[in-house]
Amino acid sequence: MILLGQVQGRDNNFFLIRILAAFTVLFAHSHSLATTEPYYDFLTPLGFKTGAIAVHIFFFTSGFFITGSLVSRDNIIDFAWARFMRIFPALWLMLLVTVVFIGLFITTLPAGEFFSSQMTHEFVRRCATLVNGIRYQLPGAFETNPYPIAVNGSLWTMPIEWRMYEYLAGAWMLFVLKPSWRPAAFRIGFPLATLALMAIAFATFNLHDLRNDGQIGIAEFFAGSSLYVWRDRIALSRGRLALMFGALCLAALNRQAFFIVYLMVLGPMTLSLAYLFGGFIRKFNRLGDYSYGVYIYAFPVQQSLAALIPGISVNRMNVYASLITLTLAVISWHLVEKPALDRKFIAAAATQRLFDFCRAGLTDLRRRIVA
């Protein structure tokens, strides 16, 4: 199976992969948010955790699809509005729900003092714009939790994600005067960037025996970009998937070897799982893409449960947080995310008309000045 013939449309398993990744992050966080004990899983001896791998998968799939969005649209305005509508409307709703709920039911401060606090305003401003990083703390919230203070730790990835969109748009604009050079530049530049970023991530891990999930995430984002622009040469098969899995298992005998193999095969294995297996599981696509909602709501829901039910067990938190978070994610998708995405073309067309009007006005003004 050649990847080129599979990337159009949604007849794949990415909705399922992403929501499984989002719930993996939720389950991984439950232990740290419900207890003060260190969290270990079967990947800990290798320097990894399942939650981190789920985040890396998010970065890879984002790089793959966002690059596809830019290349297929061939229009920076359409691309910008598509990215804006996918990220910010749902993010703003989550912030509204989070601040109001915490402000009324969780904070130890009077509601008026909470909502008027500079810390609250800073939290909303930073998290709503993703400019200059985000803020994790709200006044009087979660101060006595097992994992104190942090309101939404999952948001650390959002400024990085948005910055990747800006880098892609910048790479696109570099060739605005020579668009014919763009495909070759991307096919060379993205793989080189991927290898360099993976080398940096490995050097950090090798020197300090500590992975940097931000570095790995950026490397996997560009790995997704690379595989998209080389999609006409990427062959997928179950045999190759088995070989990659076998190589990963064999590399588990050594931490450094596992790290290198992991960086190289995460993307191809994700694509294989997305496109090689069909049948009944493809019916999941009839549902909405709830993964983003699960990802951005899970952490504040879990922190709220820890505050409202002191001593809650990890298993109870997993169950309660999953039900509440999925409900919020479904509401977010149908109330905000899907309607916003349906309007991205309207917003892009309006922006294009505005640019055309301004351009025509400047041309007319120049003509009058010359005359």
pLDDT tens readout for residues 198-248: 999 999 988 777 888 999 999 999 999 999 999 989 899 999 999 999 999
What pLDDT shows up at residue 3? Answer: 61
Name the one residue in this structure whose structure tokens are 């970023």.
197
Please say whether the beta carbons of 201 and 217 come within 8 A: no
What pLDDT shows up at residue 271? Answer: 95
Q: CA nearest 307: which of 68, 43, 105? A: 105
What pLDDT shows up at residue 7? Answer: 64
- Mean of all residue pLDDT scores within the chain: 91
What pLDDT shows up at residue 38? Answer: 81
Q: How confident is the model at residue 348 (pLDDT cuts 50, 70, 90)?
A: confident
Tell me the C-alpha distance between 244 and 308, whole Å.
45
What pLDDT shows up at residue 281? Answer: 86
Please say whether the beta carbons of 119 and 150 come within 8 A: no
Helices of type H across the chain = 14-34, 50-73, 76-101, 111-116, 118-129, 157-173, 182-208, 213-229, 238-251, 255-275, 291-308, 314-332, 338-342, 344-370
How does DSSP assign 98-119, residue by residue? HHHHIIIII-SS-HHHHHH-HH
Q: How confident is the model at residue 278 (pLDDT cuts 50, 70, 90)?
A: confident
Kindly report the backbone phi and psi dihedral angles of residue 127, in degrees, each rounded to the nearest multiple of 5, phi listed first: -70, -25
Tell me the C-alpha distance between 117 and 111, whole Å.
10
At residue 2, the 3 state secondary structure works out as strand
Please say whether the beta carbons of 35 and 314 come within 8 A: yes
**349 or 295: which carries more pLDDT confidence?**
295
State what percent of residues in the chain have pLDDT above 70: 96
The residues near 343 (Cβ < 8 Å, ≥ 6 apart) are 85
The mean per-residue pLDDT over the stretch 5-30 comes to: 87
What pLDDT shows up at residue 206? Answer: 83
Q: Which two three-digit tokens encode residue 50? A: 């399942």
The mean per-residue pLDDT over the stretch 297-307 comes to: 97
What pLDDT shows up at residue 257? Answer: 94
What pLDDT shows up at residue 370? Answer: 66
**Reported pTM:** 0.93
Tell me the C-alpha distance between 111 and 125, whole Å.
19
**351 or 11: which carries more pLDDT confidence?**
351
What pLDDT shows up at residue 136? Answer: 95
Tell me the C-alpha distance between 105 and 98, whole Å.
11
Residue 4 reports pLDDT greater than 60: no
pLDDT tens readout for residues 82-109: 999 999 999 999 999 999 999 999 999 9
Tell me the C-alpha distance between 23 and 38, whole Å.
20
Please say whether the beta carbons of 183 and 191 come within 8 A: no
What pLDDT shows up at residue 260? Answer: 95
What pLDDT shows up at residue 118? Answer: 96
The residues near 132 (Cβ < 8 Å, ≥ 6 apart) are 126
Tell me the C-alpha distance between 137 and 135, whole Å.
6
Tell me the C-alpha distance between 200 and 16, whole Å.
31
- The CA-atom distances, in angstroms, between 78 and each of 71, 84, 283, 340, 347 are 11, 10, 29, 14, 8
State what percent of residues in the chain have pLDDT above 90: 75
